Amino acid sequence: MDADPGARPLMTALGERGFEVYAANRGRFAIPVGRSVRPDLIVLDMALPDGDGVETYDGLRAVGVHAPVLFLTAREDSAAGEQLGRVMTDADDHLTKPLELDEVIARVQDLLARDRADESRLLRHGDLAVDAARREVWRAGTRIELSTREFALLGYLLDNAGQVVTKKQILERVWGAPFRTGTVETYVYYLRRKLGDHDQSLIRTVRGLGYTMARG
């Protein structure tokens, strides 16, 4: 797909430094490209011909693309600055135009280095991202508040993704005590509700046995 002419110098500079670069000149094209390529980093202009960058950012997160983002904004665009305050995380960064190629490349390298350092503690499962050290969970880019027990239950199911675990096993590992199996059913219900797993495509009930977490 052709890149915007203004992006070509940056693409060339990144390519010369060994980066594999994919381009999309419209936000609606960036989402399928991101879903297909699963990039390590996204450079996203806030001013796109078919919408603003935040819409594209939300679309990428919705399809499970959680790579860090380097946002590019116009200096006079105060609305873009307000939007960035809503979506940017500690993993993201931004630069204002006009851009210096060396500065953009330096930020790209820094973001990739930070992301690789964080990757050791960040578990990704489909559109779920779990930070065990910070006890934080996101789904499709939205942070989800879990109780200590819900977080432990999610962790146990993720550790055994693709396998059936019985209610007794869950009680032993998550509660460490012989509570009634109805306790597990209640907390699975809480967890599904918070994760938006209304169709049970993420946490599946295996009748007569227990539960299984779908493979990521």
What are the angstrom distances between the C-alpha of 162 and each of 71, 101, 165, 216?
36, 45, 10, 9
Does pLDDT of 2 surpass 60?
no
Query: Are 36 and 75 part of one and the same domain?
Result: yes
Same domain, 108 and 18: yes
Above 70 in pLDDT, residue 93?
yes
Model pTM above 0.75: no
Could you report the per-residue pLDDT of 54-69, keeping only the tens digit for each?
Answer: 889 888 888 878 888 9
How many domains in the chain? Answer: 2
Same domain, 115 and 97: yes
Among residues 90, 120, 150, the one where a domain terminates is 120
pLDDT at 205: 95
For the cut 80, the answer to whether the pLDDT of residue 121 exceeds it is no
Confidence at 46, pLDDT banded by 50, 70, 90: confident
**How many Cα atoms occupy the beta-carbon half-sphere of 28 within 13 Å?**
3
Most confident among 6-15, 114-123, 177-186 (mean pLDDT): 6-15
- 114 shares its domain with 128: no
Could you give the percent of the chain with pLDDT greater than 90?
Answer: 31
Q: What share of the chain is helix, strand, coil (3-state, %, to 5)?
A: 45, 20, 35
pLDDT computed for residue 117 by the predictor: 61
Note the pLDDT tens digit of each residue in 131-190.
876 778 988 878 899 988 899 999 999 999 999 999 999 988 888 766 677 889 999 999
Clarify whether residues 132 and 108 are in a common domain.
no
Domain boundary among 120, 149, 181: 120
79 Cβ neighbours under 8 A, 6+ residues apart: none
Per cent of the chain over pLDDT 70 is 87
Question: What local confidence, expressed as pLDDT, does residue 178 receive?
Answer: 64
Q: What's the mean pLDDT in 10-38?
A: 89
SS3 call for 50: coil
> Shortest CA distance to 197 belongs to which of 137, 131, 117?
137
**pLDDT given at position 212:** 95
- Report the distance separating Cα 76 and Cα 96, nearest Å: 9
The pLDDT assigned to 176 comes to: 78
Q: Categorize the per-residue pLDDT at 75 as very low, low, confident or very high, splitting at 50, 70 and 90.
A: low
136 and 116 belong to one structural domain: no
Residue 174 lies in domain: 124-213
Q: In what order do the strands lie in the sheet with 136-139?
A: 122-125, 128-131, 136-139, 142-144
Residue-averaged pLDDT of the chain? 84
Phi, psi of 63 (to 5 degrees): -100, 15
The answer for residues whose C-beta is within 8 angstroms of residue 113's C-beta and 6 or more apart is none
Mean pLDDT value of segment 4-21: 84
Structure tokens at 123: 């578990």
Q: How far apart are CA 168 and CA 210, in angstroms?
A: 9
**Which stretch of DSSP H or E encloses residue 43?**
strand 42-45
CATH of the domain at 72: 3.40.50.2300
